């Protein structure tokens, strides 16, 4: 009888049925069998197999099995949600007392209760299947005879006990990495061992290592990788030189930031008899030294990108390669992969050649030096630089006319003292010298992406740099926002990058230009690496790749390997499935690196401001929420919050549709992009927060 009843509810899980109706359906209407059936129903209810609403029974679908999901802890740790792999059940609410030994991000098994908390089913974590992280970064503290680590991750709410035998020479106040975490009793703290000492808490190297670890980025090279790199010799065998296009006598030079440590691209130009230009884009041939399967390559895949913190770089490749062997330093022979393009004076690509080469750079320029030469009309390689600059302007105009979007994204540059403390900060200015190099890198990246699938009936497996169309909903929101500023933009036209580019050009030099650019960028999809060539919306290109920075980007290195195999008609070094996996991994690592770099900038902005409490600044409203105004300082681009409770002249209401706060009594409005005068009232380096107060008009 029990199995028959269970089978019925399994077959009709949505049915809520009275016992008499069930008896008729199952043939238990006789008094003695009906009594037996009622007893079985009570048993199944007590066991949790059935639930009851009034006199009706129904299947307690949450009791049939334990489910698996990932823990998402809220900030204060008072409860969590488990995102189940089985989406049919939704998220499970876990009260603090039922978290047991789970940590944020862990894969866990949950037992579900037959009750709901709001829209979610309530449950209990009964088993940790897999820890999300096996290591954490935090500060070691000593309390009496005991050592504890308070980790940096704000979603972890327990200190880790470290036995004195497992300190690994760490001292009180050190920033450390802990591992070998054990936690079986929720009444006690988890235990761990110190894996590595990063330095004194607060020191810049320790903070950089901490940020990298927090974002899941590698920052120390394994010994085998260092040793393998150091075995690579600087001298180039004659046989290798003979196999390459020899460009050592050409006037080739590099143009990079003043503080650059590695130089992976160089350029050259010459005028042809037919009036066209022969432009050379010469890229460090990292693939000659880093091959699929060696230790350096394996580590490069793990990292996928270099990370550019303020004042410090965590490279993708060991410095012996990135700063020496592969770096295109002046007056030294270096192996390169060259794209030689014939371009007409009106910017048309007439012909091109891609070949491995050897160069000898004649000069290392920084951007300011090139700009001074262009402005003054004299200096080293003045004629070559002028030709490059004039042609770059033609290429840029043509690109913009065809739909490339000129987003303005201001960046800051810090002046650091000997202790890496910022003493000054200024906004970088984009000059012709920056745009000059950018145009030729874009040209080479396009050529390579188009070349890979020439003369093939089916597209070859390749890694493209793609940028999808923006979502229609985001374009509608953008059009509403610009309308609130007095402009008009048709969201339907936003499907064409050419129309969006035209609109942004129309508002150029307006007071709202920077803000509209920022909101436009937020409306865009993210550029990613992909084997599926959907084109690049932001640049307006049908074919685009990343070829020009193999020292600092994994996809560029992989593309070099694929290109060489195609040029030599050899078997391709990667399968389609491998490239899909590498594309997804590179995109993830890029996002993590960008987050880490932004955090590095924010920390330096906080350090710059921490001794300026009470100072007044000019700012612009950069964000509006129901709890206050985010403002960005004009001089340093540091962002902080004016809390709603500190707007004391009225009670303000958040108007999400129109991106503004409105005073209920006085009707005063605060909009995105409004300029304000603010006073710095609080800086919290640990929480990475900055608070401002609004100064009266």
Q: CB–CB of 288/319 below 8 Å? A: no
pLDDT for residue 115: 61
What's the whole-number mean pLDDT along residues 182-208? 90
Task: Give the model's confidence band at 308: pLDDT under 50 very low, under 70 low, under 90 confident, else very high.
Answer: very high
pLDDT of residue 539: 94
DSSP 8-state assignment for residue 317: S
Query: Using alpha carbons only, what angle is made at residue 673 by residues 667 and 677, rounded to the nearest 5 degrees?
Result: 75
What was the pLDDT predicted at 449? Answer: 95
Higher pLDDT, 517 or 251: 251
* Residue carrying the six token digits 């030994």: 101
pLDDT confidence of residue 48: 66
Does a structural domain hold residue 414? yes
CB neighbour class for 123 (10 Å; exposed up to 12, middle 13-18, buried from 19): buried
- CA pair distance 436, 281, nearest whole angstrom: 12
Rg (CA), the chain: 31
CATH number, domain at 185? 2.40.50.690
596, 618, 651 - which closes a domain:
596
Same domain for 546 and 498?
no
Percent of all residues in the chain with a pLDDT value above 90, rounded to a whole number: 58
Tell me what pLDDT residue 410 has.
81
Three-class secondary structure of residue 104 per DSSP: coil
CB 26 within 8 A of CB 4: yes
More confident residue, 66 or 506: 506
214 lies in some domain: no
Task: Residue 7: give its domain's CATH number.
Answer: 1.10.10
Question: What is the predicted pLDDT for the residue at 58?
Answer: 81
Q: Which of 127-136, 372-381, 455-464 has the highest mean pLDDT?
A: 372-381
Give the residue-averaged pLDDT of 364-369: 95
Same domain, 367 and 457: yes
Average pLDDT in the 153-171 region? Answer: 90
- pLDDT of 13 reads 67
The stretches of 402-467 forming alpha helices (DSSP H) are: 432-451
Give the pLDDT band (50/70/90) at residue 116. Answer: low
CA 239 to chain CA mean position, Å: 42
State whether residue 178 is helix, strand or coil.
strand
pLDDT on residue 86 = 66
Longest dimension (CA), the chain: 110
The answer to whether residue 211 is domain-embedded is: no
Which CA distances in Å does 438 have to 257, 333, 409, 442?
13, 24, 15, 6
- Tokens 């020439």 correspond to 454
Query: Average model confidence (pLDDT) for the chain?
Result: 90
Weakest mean pLDDT among 160-174, 346-360, 421-435: 421-435
Q: What is the CATH number of the domain that holds 643?
A: 2.40.50.140
**Is 99 domain-assigned?**
yes
In a domain, 207, yes or no: no
C-beta atoms surrounding 98 within 10 Å: 20
Together in a domain, 392 and 508: no
pLDDT mean over 610-631: 91
Total number of domains constituting the chain? 6
Residues 149 and 232 in one domain: no
* Residue 598: predicted pLDDT: 93
Lowest model confidence (mean pLDDT) among 108-112, 192-196, 600-604, 617-621: 108-112
Do residues 456 and 480 both lie within one domain?
no
Using the predicted structure, report yes or no on whether residue 31 has a pLDDT greater than 70: yes
Which pLDDT score, from 0 to 100, does residue 580 have?
96
Does pLDDT of 87 surpass 70?
no
Q: Is residue 427 part of a domain?
A: yes
Q: What mean pLDDT do residues 300-324 have?
A: 95
Would residue 496 count as lying in a domain?
yes
Residue 175 above 70 pLDDT?
A: yes
Average pLDDT, integer, range 665-685:
88
Shared domain for 52 and 72, answered yes or no, is no
What range defines the domain where residue 167 resides?
A: 136-201
Asked if 124 and 151 sit in the same domain, the reply is no
Does one domain contain both 541 and 628? Answer: no
231 with 380, same domain: the answer is: yes
Which residues touch 358 (CB under 8 Å, ≥6 apart)? Answer: 236, 240, 241, 244, 245, 246, 247, 248, 333, 334, 335, 336
Short-list 394, 156, 366, 177, CA closest to 263: 366
Structure tokens at 597: 């770099």
**Does 235 share its domain with 333?**
yes
Token pair, residue 623, equals: 């964000």
274-283, 535-544, 670-679: range with lowest mean pLDDT: 670-679
| Segment 154-174 mean pLDDT | 91
Rounded mean pLDDT, 254-266: 91
* pLDDT value, residue 494: 80
Give pLDDT tens digits for 327-351.
Answer: 999 999 999 999 999 999 999 999 9
* pTM of the model as a whole: 0.81
- Range with lowest mean pLDDT among 167-171, 461-465, 493-497: 493-497
Q: Residues 453, 545: one domain? A: yes
Is residue 206 domain-resident? no
**Which 3 state secondary structure label does DSSP give 319?**
helix
- 155 shares a domain with 296: no
109: how many CB neighbours lie within 10 A of its CB? 17
pLDDT at position 510 is: 83
Whether the predicted pLDDT of 63 surpasses 60: no
């Amino acid at each position: 009888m029990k199995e028959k009843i269970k089978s019925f509810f399994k077959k009709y899980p949505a049915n809520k049925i009275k016992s008499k109706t069930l008896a008729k359906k199952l043939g238990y209407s006789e008094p003695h069998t009906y009594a037996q059936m009622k007893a079985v129903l009570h048993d199944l209810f007590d066991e949790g197999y059935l639930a009851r609403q009034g006199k009706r029974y129904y299947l307690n679908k949450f009791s049939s099995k334990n489910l698996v999901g990932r823990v998402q802890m809220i900030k204060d740790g008072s409860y969590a949600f488990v995102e189940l792999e089985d989406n049919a059940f939704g998220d499970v609410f876990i009260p603090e007392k039922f978290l047991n030994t789970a940590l944020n991000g862990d894969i866990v098994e949950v037992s579900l209760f037959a009750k709901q908390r709001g829209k979610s089913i309530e449950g209990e974590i009964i088993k940790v299947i897999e820890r999300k992280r096996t290591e954490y970064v935090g500060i070691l503290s000593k309390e009496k005879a005991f050592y504890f680590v308070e980790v940096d991750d704000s979603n972890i709410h327990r200190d880790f006990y470290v036995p004195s035998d497992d300190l690994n020479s760490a001292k009180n106040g050190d920033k450390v990495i802990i591992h070998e975490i054990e936690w079986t009793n929720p009444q006690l703290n988890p235990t761990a061992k110190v894996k590595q000492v990063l330095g004194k808490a607060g020191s810049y190297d320790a903070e950089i290592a901490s940020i990298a670890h927090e974002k899941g980025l590698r920052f120390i090279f394994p010994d085998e990788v260092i040793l393998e790199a150091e075995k690579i010799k600087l001298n180039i065998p004659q046989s290798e030189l003979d196999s390459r296009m020899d460009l050592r006598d050409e006037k080739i030079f590099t143009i990079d930031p003043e503080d650059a440590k590695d130089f992976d691209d160089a350029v050259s130009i010459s005028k042809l008899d037919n009036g066209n230009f022969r432009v050379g884009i010469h890229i460090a041939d990292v693939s000659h030294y880093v091959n699929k399967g060696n230790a350096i390559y394996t580590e490069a895949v793990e990292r996928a990108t270099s990370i550019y913190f303020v004042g410090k770089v965590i490279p993708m490749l060991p410095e012996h390669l990135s700063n020496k062997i592969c770096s295109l330093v002046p007056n030294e022979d270096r192996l390169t992969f060259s794209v030689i393009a014939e371009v007409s004076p009106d910017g048309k690509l007439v012909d091109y050649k891609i070949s491995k080469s050897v160069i000898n750079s004649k000069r290392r320029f920084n951007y300011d030096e090139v700009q001074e030469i262009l402005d003054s009309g004299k200096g080293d390689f003045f004629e070559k630089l002028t030709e490059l600059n004039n042609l770059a302007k033609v290429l840029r105009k043509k690109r913009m006319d065809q739909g490339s979007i000129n987003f303005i994204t201001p960046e800051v540059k810090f002046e650091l003292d000997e202790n890496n403390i910022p003493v000054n900060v200024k906004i970088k200015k984009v000059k012709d010298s920056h745009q000059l190099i950018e145009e030729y890198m874009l040209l080479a990246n396009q050529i390579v992406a188009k070349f890979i699938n020439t003369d093939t009936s089916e597209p070859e497996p390749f890694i493209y740099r793609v940028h999808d169309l923006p979502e229609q909903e985001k374009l509608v929101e953008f059009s509403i926002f610009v309308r609130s500023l007095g402009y008009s933009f048709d969201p339907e036209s936003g499907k064409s990058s050419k129309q969006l580019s035209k609109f942004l050009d129309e508002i150029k030099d307006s007071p709202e230009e920077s803000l509209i650019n920022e909101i436009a960028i937020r409306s865009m999809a993210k550029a990613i690496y992909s084997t599926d060539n959907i084109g690049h919306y932001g640049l307006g290109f049908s074919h685009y790749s990343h070829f020009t920075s193999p020292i600092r980007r994994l996809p560029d290195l992989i593309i070099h390997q694929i290109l060489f195999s195609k040029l030599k008609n050899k078997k391709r070094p990667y399968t389609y499935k491998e490239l899909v996996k590498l594309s997804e991994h590179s995109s993830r690592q890029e996002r993590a690196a960008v987050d880490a770099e932004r955090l590095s900038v924010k920390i330096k902005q906080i350090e710059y401001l921490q001794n300026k409490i009470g100072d007044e600044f000019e700012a612009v409203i950069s964000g509006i929420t129901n709890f206050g105004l985010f403002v960005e300082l004009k001089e340093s681009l540091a962002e902080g919050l004016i809390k709603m409770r500190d707007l004391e002249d009225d009670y303000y209401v958040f108007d999400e549709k129109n991106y503004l706060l409105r005073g209920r009594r006085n009707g005063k409005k605060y909009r995105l992009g409004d300029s304000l005068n603010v006073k710095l009232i609080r800086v919290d380096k640990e929480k990475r927060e900055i608070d401002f107060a609004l100064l009266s008009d």
